[in-house]
Protein backbone atom coordinates (compact mmCIF):
# COMPACT_ATOMS: atom_id res chain seq x y z
CA UNK A 1 0.00 0.00 0.00
CA UNK A 2 1.19 3.53 -0.77
CA UNK A 3 2.59 5.10 2.42
CA UNK A 4 0.21 8.07 2.18
CA UNK A 5 -2.85 5.81 2.14
CA UNK A 6 -1.33 3.71 4.91
CA UNK A 7 -0.75 6.77 7.09
CA UNK A 8 -4.37 7.89 6.97
CA UNK A 9 -5.72 4.35 7.27
CA UNK A 10 -3.68 3.76 10.44
CA UNK A 11 -4.22 7.17 12.05
CA UNK A 12 -6.85 6.94 14.76
CA UNK A 13 -6.90 10.44 16.25
CA UNK A 14 -6.36 12.11 12.85
CA UNK A 15 -4.42 15.02 14.33
CA UNK A 16 -1.46 14.60 12.06
CA UNK A 17 1.37 17.07 11.62
CA UNK A 18 3.21 17.41 8.33
CA UNK A 19 6.13 19.77 7.78
CA UNK A 20 7.47 21.37 4.63
CA UNK A 21 11.04 22.44 3.96
CA UNK A 22 12.90 23.32 0.79
CA UNK A 23 15.49 20.80 -0.37
CA UNK A 24 18.98 22.29 -0.42
CA UNK A 25 18.23 25.12 2.02
CA UNK A 26 19.87 26.36 4.11
CA UNK A 27 22.58 23.86 3.08
CA UNK A 28 22.89 21.67 0.02
CA UNK A 29 23.77 18.49 1.91
CA UNK A 30 21.29 18.90 4.79
CA UNK A 31 18.19 17.41 3.15
CA UNK A 32 18.69 13.83 4.34
CA UNK A 33 19.46 14.86 7.90
CA UNK A 34 16.36 17.05 8.11
CA UNK A 35 14.14 14.20 6.91
CA UNK A 36 15.60 11.65 9.31
CA UNK A 37 15.39 14.10 12.21
CA UNK A 38 11.75 14.95 11.52
CA UNK A 39 10.91 11.25 11.32
CA UNK A 40 12.70 10.55 14.61
CA UNK A 41 10.83 13.40 16.29
CA UNK A 42 7.41 12.04 15.30
CA UNK A 43 6.40 14.11 12.27
CA UNK A 44 3.79 12.12 10.35
CA UNK A 45 4.59 13.19 6.79
CA UNK A 46 7.19 15.43 5.13
CA UNK A 47 6.81 17.70 2.12
CA UNK A 48 10.13 18.30 0.42
CA UNK A 49 10.16 21.42 -1.73
CA UNK A 50 11.74 21.39 -5.17
CA UNK A 51 13.37 24.83 -5.53
CA UNK A 52 12.24 26.89 -8.49
CA UNK A 53 13.14 30.39 -9.63
CA UNK A 54 9.53 31.61 -9.93
CA UNK A 55 7.39 30.08 -7.12
CA UNK A 56 4.14 31.98 -7.68
CA UNK A 57 2.14 30.52 -4.78
CA UNK A 58 4.86 30.99 -2.20
CA UNK A 59 5.47 33.88 0.15
CA UNK A 60 8.81 35.59 0.77
CA UNK A 61 10.06 33.00 3.29
CA UNK A 62 9.79 30.02 0.93
CA UNK A 63 10.88 32.11 -2.07
CA UNK A 64 14.03 33.04 -0.19
CA UNK A 65 14.67 29.39 0.72
CA UNK A 66 14.25 28.35 -2.91
CA UNK A 67 16.66 31.05 -4.04
CA UNK A 68 19.23 29.89 -1.51
CA UNK A 69 18.78 26.26 -2.55
CA UNK A 70 19.35 27.10 -6.21
CA UNK A 71 22.46 29.10 -5.29
CA UNK A 72 23.66 26.06 -3.33
CA UNK A 73 23.32 23.94 -6.47
CA UNK A 74 20.21 21.92 -5.67
CA UNK A 75 18.64 20.20 -8.68
CA UNK A 76 16.04 17.47 -9.07
CA UNK A 77 18.78 15.02 -9.97
CA UNK A 78 20.72 15.90 -6.82
CA UNK A 79 17.57 15.69 -4.69
CA UNK A 80 16.68 12.24 -5.98
CA UNK A 81 20.23 11.08 -5.28
CA UNK A 82 20.00 12.36 -1.70
CA UNK A 83 16.62 10.74 -1.13
CA UNK A 84 17.74 7.43 -2.61
CA UNK A 85 20.67 7.34 -0.16
CA UNK A 86 18.26 7.25 2.82
CA UNK A 87 15.36 5.37 1.21
CA UNK A 88 15.77 2.29 3.43
CA UNK A 89 15.71 4.43 6.58
CA UNK A 90 12.56 6.41 5.80
CA UNK A 91 9.29 4.89 6.96
CA UNK A 92 6.96 7.89 6.76
CA UNK A 93 5.49 9.32 3.55
CA UNK A 94 7.60 11.77 1.59
CA UNK A 95 5.79 14.14 -0.76
CA UNK A 96 7.64 16.31 -3.26
CA UNK A 97 6.17 19.78 -3.74
CA UNK A 98 7.24 21.72 -6.77
CA UNK A 99 6.20 23.60 -9.85
CA UNK A 100 5.53 22.06 -13.23
CA UNK A 101 8.42 23.62 -15.16
CA UNK A 102 11.34 21.68 -13.59
CA UNK A 103 9.28 18.48 -13.61
CA UNK A 104 8.54 18.85 -17.33
CA UNK A 105 12.23 19.46 -18.00
CA UNK A 106 13.05 16.30 -16.06
CA UNK A 107 10.29 14.38 -17.89
CA UNK A 108 6.98 13.20 -16.41
CA UNK A 109 7.75 9.50 -16.70
CA UNK A 110 11.33 9.95 -15.51
CA UNK A 111 10.07 12.03 -12.57
CA UNK A 112 7.54 9.39 -11.48
CA UNK A 113 10.07 6.60 -11.86
CA UNK A 114 12.70 8.52 -9.90
CA UNK A 115 10.16 9.21 -7.16
CA UNK A 116 9.53 5.51 -6.69
CA UNK A 117 13.24 4.69 -6.77
CA UNK A 118 13.85 7.37 -4.12
CA UNK A 119 11.03 6.28 -1.82
CA UNK A 120 8.71 9.22 -2.58
CA UNK A 121 4.99 8.49 -2.17
CA UNK A 122 3.39 11.53 -3.74
CA UNK A 123 3.79 14.91 -5.39
CA UNK A 124 2.09 18.30 -5.15
CA UNK A 125 2.32 20.42 -8.28
CA UNK A 126 0.42 23.68 -7.57
CA UNK A 127 0.40 24.96 -11.16
CA UNK A 128 -0.57 21.66 -12.81
CA UNK A 129 -3.84 22.21 -14.74
CA UNK A 130 -6.41 19.60 -13.76
CA UNK A 131 -7.08 18.56 -17.35
CA UNK A 132 -3.37 17.94 -17.87
CA UNK A 133 -3.33 15.97 -14.62
CA UNK A 134 -6.17 13.73 -15.79
CA UNK A 135 -4.97 13.19 -19.34
CA UNK A 136 -1.18 13.29 -19.08
CA UNK A 137 0.14 12.97 -15.53
CA UNK A 138 -2.35 10.68 -13.77
CA UNK A 139 -1.92 7.67 -16.11
CA UNK A 140 1.85 7.76 -15.59
CA UNK A 141 1.62 8.40 -11.85
CA UNK A 142 -0.86 5.53 -11.44
CA UNK A 143 1.56 3.24 -13.24
CA UNK A 144 4.15 3.98 -10.53
CA UNK A 145 1.64 4.07 -7.63
CA UNK A 146 2.50 7.73 -7.05
CA UNK A 147 -0.16 9.99 -5.55
CA UNK A 148 -0.63 13.41 -7.15
CA UNK A 149 -2.13 15.66 -4.48
CA UNK A 150 -4.47 18.44 -5.52
CA UNK A 151 -5.14 21.74 -3.73
CA UNK A 152 -8.47 23.38 -2.98
CA UNK A 153 -9.05 26.95 -1.71
CA UNK A 154 -12.03 28.88 -0.31
CA UNK A 155 -12.77 29.93 -3.90
CA UNK A 156 -12.94 26.37 -5.26
CA UNK A 157 -16.52 25.47 -6.19
CA UNK A 158 -18.28 22.50 -4.62
CA UNK A 159 -18.59 20.91 -8.06
CA UNK A 160 -14.85 21.25 -8.61
CA UNK A 161 -14.03 19.89 -5.15
CA UNK A 162 -16.17 16.81 -5.72
CA UNK A 163 -14.55 16.29 -9.13
CA UNK A 164 -11.10 16.46 -7.50
CA UNK A 165 -12.24 14.10 -4.75
CA UNK A 166 -13.51 11.59 -7.32
CA UNK A 167 -10.33 11.64 -9.42
CA UNK A 168 -7.52 11.75 -6.85
CA UNK A 169 -6.23 9.53 -4.09
CA UNK A 170 -4.10 10.01 -0.98
CA UNK A 171 -5.35 13.28 0.50
CA UNK A 172 -6.59 16.70 -0.52
CA UNK A 173 -4.45 19.72 0.35
CA UNK A 174 -6.91 22.24 1.76
CA UNK A 175 -5.37 25.70 1.46
CA UNK A 176 -6.61 27.93 4.29
CA UNK A 177 -6.80 30.99 2.07
CA UNK A 178 -6.30 32.06 -1.51
CA UNK A 179 -3.26 34.11 -0.51
CA UNK A 180 0.38 33.11 -0.83
CA UNK A 181 2.05 31.00 1.85
CA UNK A 182 2.98 32.62 5.15
CA UNK A 183 2.11 32.63 8.84
CA UNK A 184 -1.13 33.93 10.33
CA UNK A 185 -2.02 34.64 13.97
CA UNK A 186 -5.54 33.24 13.68
CA UNK A 187 -8.14 31.99 11.22
CA UNK A 188 -11.02 34.46 10.90
CA UNK A 189 -14.74 33.65 10.74
CA UNK A 190 -14.68 33.32 6.96
CA UNK A 191 -11.94 30.68 7.08
CA UNK A 192 -13.73 28.84 9.90
CA UNK A 193 -16.91 28.81 7.80
CA UNK A 194 -14.91 27.46 4.86
CA UNK A 195 -13.58 24.63 7.05
CA UNK A 196 -17.11 23.76 8.21
CA UNK A 197 -18.45 23.86 4.66
CA UNK A 198 -15.86 21.37 3.42
CA UNK A 199 -16.41 19.17 6.47
CA UNK A 200 -20.11 18.98 5.63
CA UNK A 201 -19.33 17.65 2.13
CA UNK A 202 -18.18 14.30 3.58
CA UNK A 203 -15.46 13.85 0.98
CA UNK A 204 -13.95 10.45 0.25
CA UNK A 205 -10.37 11.62 0.63
CA UNK A 206 -8.89 12.82 3.94
CA UNK A 207 -7.82 16.47 4.04
CA UNK A 208 -4.78 18.29 5.37
CA UNK A 209 -4.97 22.04 6.01
CA UNK A 210 -1.99 24.22 5.17
CA UNK A 211 -0.94 27.88 4.69
CA UNK A 212 -0.74 30.15 7.71
CA UNK A 213 -0.32 27.67 10.57
CA UNK A 214 2.18 28.92 13.13
CA UNK A 215 0.68 28.86 16.63
CA UNK A 216 -1.66 26.93 18.94
CA UNK A 217 -4.82 28.59 17.63
CA UNK A 218 -4.21 27.95 13.94
CA UNK A 219 -2.89 24.42 14.61
CA UNK A 220 -5.98 23.47 16.64
CA UNK A 221 -8.32 24.92 14.03
CA UNK A 222 -6.63 22.88 11.30
CA UNK A 223 -6.48 19.65 13.28
CA UNK A 224 -10.11 20.03 14.43
CA UNK A 225 -11.36 20.47 10.86
CA UNK A 226 -9.23 17.98 8.92
CA UNK A 227 -6.99 14.95 9.36
CA UNK A 228 -4.12 17.25 10.23
CA UNK A 229 -2.07 20.34 9.56
CA UNK A 230 0.78 21.24 7.24
CA UNK A 231 3.34 23.81 8.42
CA UNK A 232 5.72 25.35 5.93
CA UNK A 233 6.86 28.96 6.31
CA UNK A 234 7.21 28.86 10.10
CA UNK A 235 9.42 25.76 10.01
CA UNK A 236 11.46 27.05 7.05
CA UNK A 237 12.16 30.25 8.99
CA UNK A 238 13.20 28.36 12.12
CA UNK A 239 15.35 25.92 10.14
CA UNK A 240 17.17 28.80 8.52
CA UNK A 241 17.68 30.54 11.86
CA UNK A 242 19.05 27.27 13.27
CA UNK A 243 21.47 27.03 10.33
CA UNK A 244 19.98 23.72 9.24
CA UNK A 245 19.85 22.06 12.67
CA UNK A 246 16.45 20.38 12.48
CA UNK A 247 16.38 19.40 16.15
CA UNK A 248 16.80 23.02 17.23
CA UNK A 249 14.23 24.19 14.68
CA UNK A 250 11.73 21.59 15.89
CA UNK A 251 12.22 22.53 19.53
CA UNK A 252 11.44 26.14 18.65
CA UNK A 253 8.47 25.14 16.47
CA UNK A 254 6.89 23.02 19.17
CA UNK A 255 7.35 25.87 21.62
CA UNK A 256 5.63 28.28 19.22
CA UNK A 257 2.75 25.85 18.70
CA UNK A 258 1.96 25.94 22.41
CA UNK A 259 1.37 29.70 22.41
- Torsion 248-213-54-129 (CA) sign: positive
Across-strand partners of 19? 46, 231
Q: How far is residue 145's CA from residue 1's CA, in Å, rounded to a whole number?
A: 9
User: 113 CB contacts (<8 Å, ≥6 apart)?
Assistant: 144
CA distances from 81 to 46, 107, 113, 201 (A): 17, 16, 13, 41
How far apart are alpha carbons 219 and 29 in whole angstroms? Answer: 30
Cα dist. 220→17, 44, 82, 186 in Å? Answer: 11, 16, 34, 10
Give the number of C-alpha atoms closer than 13 A to the C-alpha of residue 144, restricted to the C-beta side: 23
* CB 103, CB 125: distance < 8 Å: yes
> Which residues are identified as catalytic?
47, 58
210, 232 contact by CB (below 8 A):
yes
Q: In what order do the strands lie in the sheet with 94-97?
A: 147-149, 122-124, 94-97, 45-49, 16-22, 228-231, 207-210, 172-175, 151-152
- Name residues whose C-beta falls within 8 Å of residue 157's C-beta, 6 or more positions apart in sequence: none
Amino acid sequence: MNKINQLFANSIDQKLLSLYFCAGSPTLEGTADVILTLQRRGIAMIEVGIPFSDPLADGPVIQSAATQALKNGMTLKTLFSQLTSIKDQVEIPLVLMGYLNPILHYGIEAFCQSCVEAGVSGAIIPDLPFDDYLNIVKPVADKYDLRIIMLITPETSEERIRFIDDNTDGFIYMVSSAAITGTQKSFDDAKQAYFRRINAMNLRNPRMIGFGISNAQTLKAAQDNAAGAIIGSKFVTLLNEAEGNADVALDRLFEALEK
